[in-house]
Structure 1
Amino acid sequence: MRRSVFTNVGLLLLGLLISGVHKADSAAALTAGMGGLGQTQFFMILFLVLQSLLILYLLPHVRRQKLIQKALRGSEERFNAAATAISDALVAIDEQSLVVLFNPAAERLFGYSRDQMLGQPLDCLLPKRYRDRHREAVKDYFSGGASSRVFGSPLELPALCADGREIVVELSLSLLSDGDTRTVLASFRDISRRKADEEALRQSEERFRELADLLPQSVFEADLQGRVTFANRMALQFAGWSTEDLARQPSVMDLLSLEDRRRASSNIQRVLAGELLLNEEYTLQVSAESPPLTVVVAAAPIVRNEQVVGLRGIAVDVSERLAVEQLAQENSLKFKRLYQEYQALLDHIPDAITLYNPDLTVVRSNQGAARLLGLPVTELPGTHCSALWVGCSAAGEHCPVERCFRSGQVEQAFTKTDDGRSWHVRAFPVCNKDGERINVISLASDVTRQRQLEQEASRANHLASLGELAAGVAHEINNPINGIINYAQILADDGQIGEDNREVLRGITEEGERIANIVYNLLSFARDRQETKTPVRLGDVLSAALALTESQLRKDMILLDINVDPGLPLVNAHFQQLQQVILNIISNARYALNQRYPEGHEGKTFAICSEIVQDAGEARVMLVFHDGGTGIPAYQLPKILDPFYTTKPSGAGTGLGLSISHGIIEDHGGRLDIDSVEGCYTKVTIELPIAKGNELL
């Protein structure tokens, strides 16, 4: 109220003062009314009153203006502080596009100082190719011809730094108005790294897609609802989808068979719960026309910001693999059956088949090798051949397996082992794809019987020749022998001959008859004639032979050791032929003992013993002759029964004795064996079958 009164009074006095200056009458009247003050005093008082009233009037406005200025300064300080502290670059321009604000962040971003930029046009922060467009846009805007759509929406554009570098910034514009004054505030944010990261991410995603398209497997991604959001080329081809189909985000359930969908839904929930899914098999029905496919799927959750947002998986078509596995299984069964047949075939081959390593150790062998070697087949692998073929006569450089490894050719050899068996060994190389010899297959056949048959055939050939010779010799020998026998008989019949001479003549007659009988037997054996056999005792035959040789044995100081059972069973034989066999054996033993011991010696012994043995259920009588003479070398033993083969020096033997003896014993259904060690002994064994009931008649 007081302010209003003062205001009204002041205005009244001011009006009077103004009108009084021009009108003296009014002033004089007012002076007379106020007690006769002078005009000058009146105007002074009036001025003072007006001054006071003016002060009273203006004082509130001054106070209000100070408050506004103070608030403005505070606002500016807060704005400047905020502009200084903010991380974004702030640049303000006036209507002339001159910079009126350039905060520290802008200094750091563009490399210009605040002093350098204040009052400068904004386009110095833009590349030259954008400056003209910028000037036109600013001019158009401030002239009111452009819309304000650029305000409030961030823009991405290049900016130019003080050092000439171009960076990518995100620009946000704000319009500041103060009455008729307009200012544009620009906020710059450096997004170069973000753009580089986005470009790197884009390139990474592009590489991922390219790599995924190169994979032979189907790679896919799905969201939380099971909709496919990504599929590589193989997956699209596999599912029969186009890129347009993929854009519609089809469901993986659409491809599954009805019986697999429930299991697939459960597995998807397991993966979205964070579980890793491996090797799940599904049947896909892509279309009604195509056959169902079998796939194996592996899936893992997609985690972003610690949240599962979907799943990523790989699907492999295993239909062909399953078919191959089925075929492989069938082939495996077929191979197993063929292997069993092959193994059975090998195991039933009587020969020894052995696969050797280069170090001559056994890799594997058949049952035939195990039977022939007398070892379990499981013990043969890893065994060295020398441990299997003890005393092999074809060892070292003569070994066909070693020669086969060296030459790469098929090698063979005939060999003997310590057990007396003969072997025909053939070796075949086994090479790899480079032609290198990695193994050798040995095929060893027991040819002991075959060799015996060959030797017997050879002896038969020799005996055939002997028969032809004996046929001519027999006549030449028989004629003088008959003359000797007849002359001796004539002299024996002469009554004038004394008893002693008569005894000598009888001996000449008997020996002549024996010679004639031997020639006859030789001729008969060579011609393979059947002789009439009668039951005889081997003891009697031995006694008859010793009667002819005992005196010579005593003369040579050979110690006889006779241990023959006088009650031996009878054998069906030709007495003189058996006597000839025993005489040949005694003659050979006497020669061997005299060669080793020219004089008497305790080791100069000749033992003869008998025994009854069983052979294949048949009873046999066996005579064994054992001498401690020189023995026979091992390499000569295989040939000792060959006709005309002798171990004696030239002129000391014909090589027919043992050959004829062997033929005689075989003709009697028996067997003659010779065992000898050079320098130690020789043992000759004769086996003859015991005469049966009908043979005793």
Structure 2
Amino acid sequence: MAMSFRTARNSGLMILLLIIFAESIFSYVTIAQNSRRLNQIITIDDPKLRRWHDIAEIVAEAKHRLYEFQAGKREVVAPVDLLINRALAEVKSIRALATDENEIASIDVIEQTAKKLKQAIYAYEVEVRHGYRGGASAKEMEEIATKTADRIAQLSREGAAYVSKRIEDEKRAILEVSSFSKKTLGGVLALAVIATVVNAVFMAKALARPIKELLAGTQRLASGDLGHRVIVESEDDIGQLARSFNAMAEELRRSQHELLTAKAYTDNIIKSMTNSLVVVDQEFIIKTVNLATCDLLGYSEHELIGSPLTMIFADGRIEAAGLDRVKAKGFANHIETVYLAKDGARIRVLFSGSMVRGDQEDSQDIVCVAQDVTMQAEAMRAGHLASLGEMAAGVAHEINNPINSIINFAQIMLDDAAAGQPATPEMLTRIIKEGDRVAGIVSSLLSFAREGEKVKKPVRVSEVLDETLALVEAQLRKDGMDLHVEIPAALPLITAHFQQIQQVFLNIINNARYALNKRFPSADPGKSLRIGAKEVWIEEIHFLETFFLDQGTGIPAEVIDKVINPFFSTKPTGRGTGLGLAISHGIVTDHQGKLIIESKEGHYTRVRVLLPIEATQKP
């Protein structure tokens, strides 16, 4: 019966574990024996050996003192007595470490001999002090002391030799055990290698067939057959691997379906885009276009793909599109340029480009998006006309008052003329004043209504605001609103389109008027609109900020991010087009500015219009 991979693996591991266990036990016993012997040498034998040598040196010193005493240099009893006491102390230390009977017997002999040596030295000194230095008795005592000292020295050397031999025996035993351990370890290692090789052969045989099946399955997956599955026949690791393979194949199939669905969804989005989208490579060769591009330019997709990007730009306009900036910085936004249609028509577009990763890992493509600004101009014109319509009633009322005054003054003059009275200068002056008033209103209305030049010029915000308020101030007063305008005289100029900025201001004021009238249907101290301007720096850019703060109904937090969307309005049906703020946002963005709306429902709305100041005007 064929052995499974798990069985072969577990059997091999069990054998190796047994070998390792046996080797561990043997190593433990060996190490324990060697440790015991080393401990014997370090803690007992080495200290005893040093002490035996110390005893021999002490006895030699005692003999030297005896010789000096013979020469008459110094006394002998006290120094030698101290030396012998030191020797006896060393002997006592050796006795505490001794375990061998022969060694203990030698220690007993040394102690007895040391006592004899002390007695002989004492007797020798007495003989000498009584004047018998050269006598026979003194010489006998001297000889006894010398022989006794030599005996102690000999016993010390014998003790040292005995301990040295024991140390050598212990070292030899340690070396023999270590040599045997090496041989045993080598044999065990060889046995482990053999067992490993045998186990590897069985494992390879048990692993080869399922691995081949998995390899074949992988190749089928790589070829695109995501429906292929590997047959699972075991519960071991290979079986788990096969199940994981099948799960991976299923996940790949599901991911492929999701990717295809996502690609189709993305393609539909691109096809549904109203703006032109063109993807080019680093050489500006067109790789992808959407349907809006084909409709805008009149080319088919086949005609555009593979063609140079210069094909769709009017002469010399591709340089103005900022593609070099896209390569350098990764993006370029809102650049006005001109596309060239197939029929030769020139189409003004707002161009943006950005870098994206290409279909090759180390390549990058450029996505070019262009918006036909003709449609935007029409939307702005529609908003312009809507603003004119909203102003009509107020302007008519504003003109009606001075005209009625002129008619009344003229009627008085006619009556005076019929009565034979001449016209007074005061009456004529008042008629001229009211006429100038009408002329000023009409001039402001005409200035807002006419298209004006397309180019941006240096303008003063205070002048734009004055022209705007000339059209709506009468309506604000009629509605009972308090208007507070705080515009510093020394503000720098901005480069802008006068009528477009005027339309932005007018849209914001009309929205504020609507919110105030909704919250305060009649006159109220809180029914106020505050307008101001100041210089600010945001992200190292110098802006001129014009703000409009009203105490109206405010904007709900859940829709404040939607108010700049085209056709979105919080007003009832028929009261607003939903284009005012959308057009205003487009105009401010076209001026490289920012439109910021802050509001708290039921309390206030603050609209901030930030327009960049020319770099040459920076302080």
Does the alignment reach a TM-score above 0.5?
no
Structure holding more helix per residue = 2
User: Quick one: higher RCO (CA 8 Å, sep 6+), 1 or 2?
Assistant: 2
TM-score (ref. length: structure 1): 0.31
The structure number with the bigger radius of gyration is: 1
TM-score (ref. length: structure 2): 0.34
Structure holding more strand per residue = 1
